[in-house]
Amino acid sequence: MSDQVLELSGIAKVYNKGAANEINVLRGVDLTVQAGEVVALVAPSGAGKSTLLHMAGLLDTPDAGSIRISGTEMTGLSDRRRTAVRRADVGFIYQFHHLLPEFTALENIVLPQLAHGVARSSAEDRARVLLADVGIAARADHRPAALSGGEQQRVAFCRALANAPKLLLADEPTGNLDPGTSDQVFNALMALVRGTGLAAVIATHNLDLAARMDRQIRLDGGHLVPV
């Protein structure tokens, strides 16, 4: 059985299609990511990194090309089926944590599991394990406002992995943190990823962090090129 988790073939995306200011953001992008592989996606702001991650994570649809997750073709699926795949197989991390402010750290990790049909007791057990894995088990009952920026982002990491996805997509996950905290949080993220063996694509401006991943790719003129 193949351990290829993500396969993008010929992905194209055009904004303002047919208009005078038509923008070809992606021009036939090809990318494969294996289970256990962490890929750094580097490019300047506006190059299309977020667009590419949204395509890979089924948050947007390409104008052309094929998306496969664990060998299953995603293009052409109904919205309901795409939502089900996202919930079960894809984890997202953004630059800003987007935690629900009225819920505790534990509850923020429990909620996506409940939506996936997991029993509350099991969801809470997994949430506590994940929080311990990133070193903030003692902060489980704190709401986001009582957490530091680094702690909030660690909770967001745990939430992304709550349903044990096959694919993790992260968009500048440490970009809102100071350098020292960024390094600590990145180490926590990599430990989580390595511990679960999932496939990951992490967009970052930080070339030092990118160099610590398995492979680097650059988005240039709508095409992916190796670094």
Q: What is the DSSP string of 62-130?
A: -SEEEEEETTEE-TT--HHHHHHHHHHHEEEE-SS----TTS-HHHHHHHHHHHTT--HHHHHHHHHHH
The tens digit of pLDDT for each residue in 91-119 reads: 998 877 889 999 999 999 999 999 989 99
The tens digit of pLDDT for each residue in 30-82 reads: 999 999 999 999 987 777 888 999 999 999 889 999 999 998 899 888 888 88
On whether residue 21 sits in a domain, the answer given is no
- For residue 45, give its domain range: 37-59+79-226
Chain CA centroid to CA 220, Å:
21
Give the mean pLDDT of 155-162. 92
Could you tell me the pLDDT band of residue 18, with boundaries at 50, 70 and 90? Answer: low
**Count of domains in the chain?**
1
Q: Tell me the pTM.
A: 0.88
Give the mean pLDDT of 6-13. 94
On whether residue 110 sits in a domain, the answer given is yes
On whether residue 6 sits in a domain, the answer given is no
**Could you tell me the maximum CA-CA distance found in the chain, to the nearest angstrom?**
56
Could you tell me the pLDDT band of residue 8, with boundaries at 50, 70 and 90? Answer: very high
CATH number at residue 183: 3.40.50.300
